[in-house]
């Protein structure tokens, strides 16, 4: 009776760097770099948008300042201007309506509920 011994050729050992993790190939390192860079760009853009989106625009050398409002259902441009002019003496509502139209680049003086408007302070 004969016996056959099957031996497997030894496989090359994969180099590991701590806790069984395998070393990345050049392609893997490039993919990881691309992922980190794209994530950094997206997060940076998100933080930049958050930082620049404020409720008021600061005055620089006498420039007008603005505050933003969200148009409620049933409000018109006239009622918004009248509310904004109520706290200020000597402000004409018609003039404020014109300023709101020009500050928001409106083609018609109609506003929709939920629309964000910049109001001159």
Q: What is the pLDDT along the chain (121 residues), one digit of tens a residue?
A: 667 766 666 666 555 555 656 788 999 999 999 999 999 998 888 777 766 555 444 444 456 688 899 999 999 999 998 888 887 777 888 898 999 999 888 888 889 999 999 988 7
From residue 84, how far is each of 69, 91, 102, 120 by CA, in Å? Answer: 11, 9, 16, 9
Q: For residues 23 and 29, what is the distance between their CA atoms, to the nearest angstrom?
A: 9
Q: For residues 49 and 52, what is the distance between their CA atoms, to the nearest angstrom?
A: 5
Domain over 56-120 is classified CATH 3.10.350.10: yes
From residue 46, how far is each of 7, 17, 80, 102, 116 by CA, in Å? Answer: 58, 35, 31, 29, 20
Q: For residues 33 and 24, what is the distance between their CA atoms, to the nearest angstrom?
A: 12
Which residue ranges make up each domain of the chain?
12-53, 56-120
Q: Is the pTM of this model over 0.75?
A: no
């Amino acid at each position: 009776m004969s016996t056959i011994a099957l031996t497997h050729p030894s496989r090359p050992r994969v180099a590991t760097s701590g806790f069984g993790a395998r070393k990345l190939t050049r392609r893997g390192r490039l993919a990881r770099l691309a992922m980190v860079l794209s994530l950094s760009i997206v997060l940076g853009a998100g933080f930049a948008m958050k930082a620049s989106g404020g409720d008021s625009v600061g005055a620089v050398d006498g420039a007008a300042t603005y505050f933003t409002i969200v148009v409620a259902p049933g409000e018109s441009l006239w009622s918004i201007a009248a509310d904004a002019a109520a706290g200020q003496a000597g402000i004409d509502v018609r003039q404020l309506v014109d300023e709101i139209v020009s500050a928001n680049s409106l083609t018609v003086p109609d506003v929709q509920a939920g629309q964000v408007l910049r109001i001159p302070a």
